[in-house]
Each structure stands twice: as C-alpha cells, then as structure tokens.
A and B are shown apart, each in its own frame.
Chain A
Amino acid sequence: MAKMTLDQLRALRAQKQEELEKRNVEGKDIQVIVGMGTCGIAAGAKQTFDAIVAALEKHNMAGKVVIRQTGCMGLCYVEPTVEVVMPDMPPVIYGKMTSDVAEELVVKHLVEHSLLDSHIFDRPAIDIVKH
C-alpha cells in the first residue's frame, strides 16, 4: 500500500458521506468510553479499543457512536473496563472487556439492546441484572 496523502484521506471521508452526516457529536446518541489508566492499559485496553472500533465498523454502527477514553474508573481488578451510555438503556460499566468480547458487546448492547450480564460491574442496580 502506498502512503496515503491527506487529500486521499479527505476523499475517503467524502466516500463515506452517509456516515458523515451523522458525525457531529451532537447528533450521536451512543457513547462508548474505554478506561485507559495504567490498570486498563496493562490489561489490554488498547486492544479492546481497537476491537470495538473494528466491530462498530463491521456492524455499521460507527457513524452513530462517539468513542472516548478515560483514566482509571476505580475498577482496576476487572480491567479492561468499558462504559456504554445510550438512550433507552441504563448506563453500564462493563468489566473484563478483553478484545475477544468487544464484538459481543457491540452486537448485544448496541445492536440488540440487551445486557452482557456476566460482564456488568457497576450500574444498573443489582436487582435488574439477571444471574
């Protein structure tokens, strides 16, 4: 692959015009926040971040999602941690979100609007989580 120029990058962006229309942060209603403190990085948060971006692209969700990073969320023992905030779903912090479960997160939570019960470590209240 030859080195891409910034002009080629602009052209590629234009090709994805349909997604672009949804690109303004204000217009996006799903937020995925990955914990990237020392604890997260040591547990593979960088790979998780990558895997989430790839899975969003694969399931045509990339244009609808804002993906962010944060520092330690205080759940170092279950890193990598990922928080998902979206309409009609409780905000959830998932733990042990290694890259191999990233796609499952995207499919279940973002596409199918259901929870990955076994990975929930904070919020929603314990009584609404099935065991």
Chain B
Amino acid sequence: MHFTIGDFVLDVVQNSVEAGSHIIEVEIDEAQDGVHARIADDGCGMGSEERERALDPLRNSGAKHPGRKVGLGLPFIRQAVEQAEGSFSLKSEKGKGTEVRFFFPASNIDSPPVGDVVSLFVALLSMAGTREMKLRRTRARDGLSYEVKKSELVEAAGDLSSASSLSLVRQFLASQEEG
C-alpha cells in the first residue's frame, strides 16, 4: 500500500503516460481543509465499462499486463480515501482523456501525509514519452504557489532523462518549494 499522497499521484500519472498522453496536468493543493490532488491527461481515455473496471482491483482488462487481471492503482486511492472520509472522482472519455481528483481531509487521522513534493515532481518529470507536463503546487498555510512546465525545464536544464539534468531540476524545484 502507498504511504504518501505523492505515491498515489505518481501511480496515476504512470497510467496517464501509458495512455499515450501529450499533456498531463498535476495539481497538489494543501488547503486549510486538507489536500486536494488533480491529475488530468489527454490520453486515450476510457468508456463507461472500462472506467468501472479500472476501479475494480480484480477485474482489469489485462491490456497492460497480458494474462494478469489485477490492477491496483486507482482502487488503492479509492480505498485510502474512503478510510479517511475524503472524496474521489474519476472522469474519462474515450479518445479525449481522463481526470482523477481526490481529497484527503486534514481533520482525519487516516489521511496520509503529502510526502516529499520535490521528489514527486522530479519523478514525474523524468517519465519518458510525454511532451508536456504542467505541475501546479499551492499551500495555504504560508501562501506557497508555483507552477512549472516540463518544456521550460527541458529548455533550461536539458534532457530530463539525464541524471545530471535531473539533479539541477531538483535544486530548482527545492528552491520553489522553500521560496
């Protein structure tokens, strides 16, 4: 089971990449009432039947891993959200894309911690195969707010599959997070 909210986000974005998305948007908002996360992509999307199957841990399509019916990414989020009395929504349209939103209330002891957001963003940015990522981050308690685009970071720091570029981007993101 995942430990942080960042782990859940990373898992969903992995799906977005595998769905052939060109643009993926990720938002992490630490509001006063809790943490709101949103992941939206323009990938292949799902029809109503696929959408239902995606939420069932034991009834996967088998498309990603032939012969295997287990798919735990989204069911994990839904389970964690239910335990913490938060909320979860999945919107998807075949051929258009998918949007996943979830919320963990600050008042519930079962809500997981946000985790290391810099680490999460570095992991997201290094995923191959997606041209653009827009990462938005806000935090109410100190007014933190920033947005980064993968294309701008690639232009400034170089190809993000390179470990040295990733180190530079990590420094950049850490400064945004503290600033």
In the assembled complex, the CB of B167 is this many whole angstroms from the nearest CB of chain A, namely 5
Contacts of B100 in A (CB 8 A): none
Instruction: Give complex CA distance A7, B147 in Å.
Output: 16
Is there an interface contact between B123 and A69, defined as CB atoms closer than 8 Å? yes
Instruction: Give complex CA distance A82, B159 in Å.
Output: 21
Task: Verify if A90 is at the interface (C-beta below 8 Å from B).
Answer: no
In the assembled complex, the CB of A16 is this many whole angstroms from the nearest CB of chain B, namely 6
Is there an interface contact between A3 and B162, defined as CB atoms closer than 8 Å? no
Given A9-B168, A36-B14, A42-B1, residue A1 in contact with residue B174 (CB < 8 A): yes
The size class of the interface chain A forms with chain B is: 35 or more
Could you tell me the dominant secondary structure of chain B's interface residues? helix
The size class of the interface chain B forms with chain A is: 35 or more
**Which 10 pairs between the two chains have the least Cβ-Cβ distance?**
A3-B179, A62-B164, A4-B175, A62-B163, A56-B163, A9-B156, A19-B164, A65-B163, A38-B72, A10-B156
Pairs across A and B, CB under 8 Å, 30 listed: A1-B179, A3-B175, A3-B176, A4-B171, A4-B172, A6-B155, A12-B172, A37-B14, A38-B14, A38-B73, A41-B11, A46-B10, A46-B119, A50-B119, A52-B163, A53-B167, A54-B167, A57-B163, A57-B164, A63-B164, A65-B162, A66-B161, A67-B162, A68-B128, A68-B161, A69-B14, A69-B127, A69-B128, A71-B14, A74-B65
- Interface, chain B (partner A; CB < 8 A): 1-3, 6-7, 10-11, 14, 18, 64-65, 71-73, 76, 119-120, 122-123, 126-128, 146, 152-153, 155-159, 161-172, 174-176, 178-179
